[in-house]
Structure 1
Amino acid sequence: MAKVYVFLAEGFEDVEALIPIDVLRRGGVNVTTVSISEFPLVQSSHGVNIEADIIFEQGDYDDADLLMLPGGMPGASNLYAHAGVREAVKAQFAAGKKVGAICAAPGVVLAPLGILNGKKATCYPGFEKALAEGGATYTADLVTVDGNVTTAEGPAAAFPYAYELLTQLVDKQTADQIAEGMRFKHLMEK
């Protein structure tokens, strides 16, 4: 079973974290939510309190198939400010394993770490300059996959992003079945 860690920082964007968590769990992926503060309770950018499964110091991220970074502000900035998150993401990328980031996180976290250098990526509009400064080519797509890095634009991309990650971690058939069960495919047919 694939293993995913989702880093939650104060001010994370609700749907960019919770939709992928939900979709991946429905698809049988082992998802662990990680608070990067000293407490499990993390408040989203819209005031929703989420109790993470663990705090950062309790995790060993070497077994991760995917490390996932939700966007939102100041959530993405708080992720980048955490030295442990920066080191875990760099190690994951260096090992050739999957990294996912959505909204502000590609520009605020991945680009300054050098992870997007020479890659295609997308982000929330307004963070394109950070991608360019990090050596990335901005696609403006909802979801962009380049090697072991998957980036997504923002809240509206949360479902396509989640299904893409599920396809990578399990298979397309499972992702399509989950999308059908959640009526996402029906939405796209209209």
Structure 2
Amino acid sequence: MTKPKVLMLVADGSEEIEFVTTYDVLTRAGFEVKSAGVDLKHEFAHMSRNIRLLPDSPTLLALPHQSAHQTYDMLVLPGGMPGAKTFAHNDAVLAMIANFRTEGKYVAAICAATIALVESERRYGGEGRKGKLRVTSHPSVRGKVEKEEGAWEYSEERVVVDAGVVTSRGPGTALLFALTIVELLAGKEKRDEVAGPMIVAETL
């Protein structure tokens, strides 16, 4: 079986727990994970709680970002409002989100990063999707999601999966978010295999 390939983005102000937890869990699952910086001021990302994180690629432009959807099975965006805002204002990121969705690849966003999904759809459209897409986010950006009438159905579930889009609420849901991604790309058996040694609580 081919290893699932996941591209994770990171920006200055991205949330540490959401990024590191997801990267860690996907790596434990044996996935090929690549991280790329978006509009970083330095070669590292200055995260929301002052941790400095060195991505695999310091800039998205160093990757074949225009064809990333052909290489990776999923695009993951961590939250953290400064970082999420960077994603939502970056043309390359918004185009990547649209390309992944058009090609039927997964896009995952946690916490405030859901606003990048909203902005990408506002700019590029829903690619023929019928009806509203169920999503969630951090409560602080709920209004930004619901403002786009007709496109989204807001949920307060901890993790929501709908039409290839995975969304989650915040740092406290990061482990469930990551394990959900593992199950989507590699099945429940792989999820259980990863969760067992981590002593994951039955209720996250």
Q: Normalized against structure 2, the TM-score is what? A: 0.87
Structure 2 residue 93 is matched with structure 1 residue 70: no
Q: Give runs of aligned pairs for residues 105-120 of structure 1, distance below 5 A.
A: 105-106=113-114, 108-114=115-121, 118-120=132-134
132-141 or 67-76, which deviates more: 132-141
Post-superposition CA distance 1:6-38 (Å, at most 9, x none) = 010100000111101000000011000101136
**Structure 1 stretches (4+) deviating beyond 4 angstroms?**
none
Residues 81, 113 of structure 2: 8 Å contact kept: no
Shift of residue 97, structure 1, vs aligned partner: 0.7
Q: Identity across aligned pairs (percent)?
A: 27
Cα root mean square deviation, aligned: 1.7
Shift of 1:189: 6.1
CA distance in 2, matches of 1:85, 1:26: 26
Work out the CA distance in 2 between the residues paired with 1:80 and 1:189: 32
Q: Do 1:123 and 1:154's aligned partners in 2 also have CA atoms closer than 8 Å?
A: yes
Helix, strand or coil for the counterpart of 1:126?
Answer: helix
One-letter identity of the residue aligned with 2:117: L
Q: What is the alpha-carbon distance in structure 2 between the residues aligned to residue 155 and residue 189 of structure 1?
A: 15
Structure 1 position 105, deviation (Å): 0.8
Pick from 162, 167, 173: which aligns with 1:157?
173
Residue 30, structure 1, aligned to residue 38, structure 2: no
Partner residue of 1:141 out of 157, 172, 195: 157
Q: Is 1:102 aligned to 2:87, yes or no?
A: no
1:128 pairs with one of 142, 147, 150: 142
How many residues are treated as equivalent by the alignment? 187
AA paired with 1:113? S
Matched, 1:92 2:100: yes
Give 1:127 deviation, angstroms: 1.6
Contact 1:27–1:175 (CA<8 Å) still a contact in 2?
yes
Closer/same/farther in 2, CA of residues 189 and 158 from structure 1, 3 Å limit: closer
List gaps (5 residues or longer) in structure 1.
none
* Structure 2 residues without counterparts, runs of 5 or longer: none
Matched, 1:183 2:199: yes
Instruction: Tell me the alpha carbon deviations over residues 50-109 of structure 1, each in whole angstroms, 9 at most, x when there is no partner.
Output: 110012112121311000000002010011122111111111111111000000011x21
